[in-house]
Amino acid sequence: MAPPGLIHSSLGHSETGESPQRVGSGDTMSGEETASPSAIQISRIMRPDDANIAGNVHGGTILKMIEEAGAIISTRHCNSQKGETCVAALARVERTDFLSPMCIGEVAHVSAEITYTSKHSVEVQVTVMSENILTGARRVTNKAALWYVPLSLKNVDKVLEVPPLVYTRKEQEEEGRKRYEAQKLERMETKWKNGDIMQPSINPDRQTKEPYTVSYSQSTLIHLVGPSDCTLHGFVHGGVTMKLMDEVAGIVAARHCKTNIVTASVDAINFHDKIRKGCVITISGRMTFTSNKSMEIEVLVDADPVALHSQERYRAASAFVTYVSLSKEGKTLPVPQLLVETEEEKKRFEEGKGRYLQMKAKRQAQIDAVPQK
């Protein structure tokens, strides 16, 4: 049974009373024009089983809700014109920042809007807002951008064309094209690194290992993909994969700090291949970089189609997740510095440092761009 909540479809009015925008129109066989929704909102109350050990809503739960909203709106849009029916599959999640923690008992409002379409992909911008239903106070907790591709239901290996989006301003299309080209380039760079294998720790006894090393906190979760993890078509929901990745990264961060931890941001998650029902997936996480107040964990997802002897194990997804350490009072704590031992670990540390400094400079530029009052 689905959790309690409301899906505000494009056929009615949104929660704010505004009419949804009409986009992506095309000609039907009868010559009439059809339209797909440009925005939807999913809302549900956060329950105790959504909590992490710190008492806030689990970051993986929020990522799963973000993906569900994106999948609904992109699948609707891709089926808005006559042709082969399809399902929109998650290909990539851009960097997602956790701006504010969400509490149990609050209502999560997940708003999704299609902002760009290329020939074979859809960009969906998602904003998550929490509402205190006792006071009515609202605040933005997350923002994310997701990319989907339409897969034919007759042949899931066939990518279909996306109905074009109708833009209100020419600048919207140009800005979207720049984002599309940027993420395409980054995906290609990630694919070159897909041969990287995260070897399991030889000695599982952590008492014999030196704390704060990569091997000390490295963690692995093995999961058999069941029907509840999958869509009606037998493939794993992208949100399920993201939640498992966040769980493993959280274990790595907690082992390193030995404190409460919270997801601060998720760097781009790339989905390289579909995961089928019945696969055994291995989600591996290792520490790559630490600053004074944050730590970066690399997460790799490998799928083993055990029932298909003709197919070998393959890389299904990869990402970098950033965490911060928290005291019992919820205050940020200094992060113990990572002790790198091998040349590969030193290389990954420097690469992580580069990503950290790049994002730090980007945030500062955004602050400087805000006009001073």
The verdict on whether 132 is a catalytic residue reads no
Place of tokens 């000695």: 203
Residue type for position 11: L
The enclosing H or E element of 74 equals: helix 59-78
Helix (H) or strand (E) holding 307: none
Where are any strands of DSSP class E within the chain? 6-8, 22-27, 33-37, 39-45, 86-93, 96-98, 107-117, 122-131, 138-152, 219-224, 260-266, 269-271, 280-290, 295-304, 314-326, 332-333
Q: How far apart are CA 20 and CA 18, in angstroms?
A: 6
The active-site residue, picked from 52, 56, 79, 142, is 52
The reply to whether 157 belongs to the active site is no
Burial of 320-343, coded b for 16+ CB within 10 Å and e otherwise, reads bbbbbbbeeeeeeeebeebbbeee
What gap in Å lies between CA 267 and CA 255, rounded to an integer? 21
Quote the tokens at residue 318: 């990869």
- Considering only CA atoms, which of 142, 153, 49, 150 is closest in space to residue 96? 142
CA dihedral 253, 53, 63, 290 (to 10 degrees): -20
Residue from 50, 246, 267, 302 carrying the catalytic annotation: 246
CA atoms of 249 and 296, how far apart (whole Å): 9
Cα-based distances in Å from 168 to 120, 165, 172, 173:
21, 10, 8, 9
Catalytic residues: 52, 246
